[in-house]
Structure 1
Amino acid sequence: MVMALAGIKVLDLSRLAPGPHCSMLLADFGADVTLVEAVPGSSAKLGGSGGMRRSEAADHAAAYNALGRGKKSIALNLKEDAAKAVFYEMVKSADVVIEGFRPGVVKRLGVDYDTLAKINPRIICCSISGFGQTGPYSNLVGHDINYISVGGALGVTGRPGQAPAIPVNLVADFAGGGLTAAFAICVAIIAREKTGRGQNVDIGMSDGVLSLMTSAFSGYFGGGSVIRPGATLLNGAAPFYNTYECSDGRWFSIGSIESHFWAALCTVIGTEDLLPKQFNQDEWPATIERFKGIFKQKTADEWMAIMSQHDICAAPVLEMENVVTNEHNLARGMVVEVDSPIGKVKQIGVGPKLSDTPGEPRFTSPILGQHTDEVLKGLGYDDARIAALREAGTVG
């Protein structure tokens, strides 16, 4: 099977979620990804993902580390010149380098874009950081909650008069960071076909979050309309775009915005008197209370069985244990089994469905440094030289 990114070599220096997610997406579509991890003990800040020795616990952790799937691993102490020499050799035949350190770290290590482009002018370097490589916030530390704060997503999420609702770290780390970086890398690869040159890619997760809010800010720029938590049609104020608790304590989502969907909803739940009042905002609070009482009468699964027979935008709010057994998610290949040293393990599948060059998780995550010898031998290092490098703590 031909894979879309077959032949693209990626060196991944990143550690935390956004970078590994980015390289996982590339690996799922055939990119040859090598994790360049730190030799254990060489640096607390540059530390790798665990010990190098195989054990039942290490194999189990690697098998279920979906972010590491489809990748190889080499351990290098990039503080040493001999390790940098190895990395530079790898760069000569690479297409992409990914890093997720704070701004300035790769420059100090001697693995920044300007340095690497002299070795390989076609190299694409992608830096993923919280606030980007420039600007007054660039050197600030942070996590997803901080990036979605600056990018605007947290400020529109929640209920009126309540604290902002804190989502799991999906918006900045994975969407604004990893997914945006993978998209940008693919764009840079296409651009290289036109220019013959690589380039530097600067991914600020707060930028990625703000980019996700392009449509929301179009309304603000065009008419001055602002979104407040739980106060607008799409974030909790409208009864027809909301969630309701069911008799079993689970929740059910309704998204019947268009008039024909609203009509179908009202017909099914016996509220035809509300048909002409859909967009009367003064009626919304009372309608929500009425809907709360109605949805409390049946379980979430019962409501789904009813709603799915009609033209209604509706679905149960699935808990994690129900997501991975849901018939639709299974039919779409979004829960897969991957071979590993401990047997077949379940992981989340590949989102984009390409008809000719589909992606797939090819193998599970490596143990730290698992492919060090293989990579070094591919660069022309013999056993004696590899042993000397390992003895010196240069590689692991």
Structure 2
Amino acid sequence: MFLMLPGIWISQAAAETGTSVELDLYNGILMNPEPDNIELRYLAGGSGKIRLEARGNRNVRGELSIAADLGLTYTLTIDTAYIRTRLGPLRLTAGKTRISWGEGTVFNAADVIMGSTDLDVDLTSAEFRSETDWLSALYLPLGRFSFIEAIVLPPMPDTQAYQDYMSGLISDPFPPISDTGLGVRSSFTFERFLGIKLETGYFYTGSADSHTGYLSLQGGTGLNWHLSSSLEMTGDSFGSGADAFFQGLTASGGLYSLNDVSSRVSMNVRMEALYNYSGEFIEVENPDPANPPEYGIYGYFDFSLGIDSNLNVYLRSIVSPADGSALVILGNTFNIYQGFTFYTNVSGSFGESNDTYANRRLGGYGLVTGIRYIY
């Protein structure tokens, strides 16, 4: 028996369904370290995720995951809903998922679709960048480690516009087709040259009418490294001089090393940096709190020790050299039973009141303990 979709014939096949549930519950204390008025706040919250995966068919894979955030706000979202299948030599991905271009865990100038250059990142999470979007992608392998990929992102209405449409307040919430995002990338690995990987690509953002090209290099034996740069161009990028042309220039780079200290201890060191041509390189005095400045250089540092495969201790930090501020997190995860993890982290912001990481604010210092269970 066959089911027909537009242009695609799909045969029914036996497949297994894998189900997993993740619960993350935490308690925290936040502090505002004002010298004459120290304020403490106690909070509790959590999150949950249900994931359904199709298994057992090597030609077709699917996943649906629904996440709930039970913190200061209550939200229910579809994290992923996608199908991946083989169509001859091609591999098709359709649905809501994440595709990351380039290299980098916190800073990645080549991630021109999802974006990995902002400071809105949770350094205590297992996955720093996890944003997903609705897309369709075709992937063509060109060898063991080389490929070409094309991607389309349909324009999606924002939540408020769709709610107004459902309430009858507006008649058309859908963006025009000209807001479609289109991109292509290629990746080639040169095994004879220390295994260096060269990746380059282009993405058109229809909603902003912008064109972005990028180049990414990655390699290393023992000490791994990566370099990426991207240039976003709009109509204002031409005809106004070199400064206007390079306003959309961003670059990132990093070093990564994983070593066994002993038979029981492993050491992980990672450093990354971000450069933004259009950012400020000198501290902005008295900035607008509602519109904080974007600086031209940021750094990220991560040092962790893994002990007996069930205990991990880490020190992570994001630094803003222009205003001399930093966010520092010291934490640990302890895998007590299979799937059950206890974690603790202490965070501190070190900077003046107008800096990127100001400590004299609620949450300038914090202590969070929690448990995570995956079953």
More contact order relative to length (CA 8 Å, sep ≥ 6): 1
Q: TM-score under structure 2 normalisation?
A: 0.26
* Greater fraction strand: 2
Q: TM-score under structure 1 normalisation?
A: 0.25
* Greater fraction helix: 1
| Higher gyration radius (CA) | 1
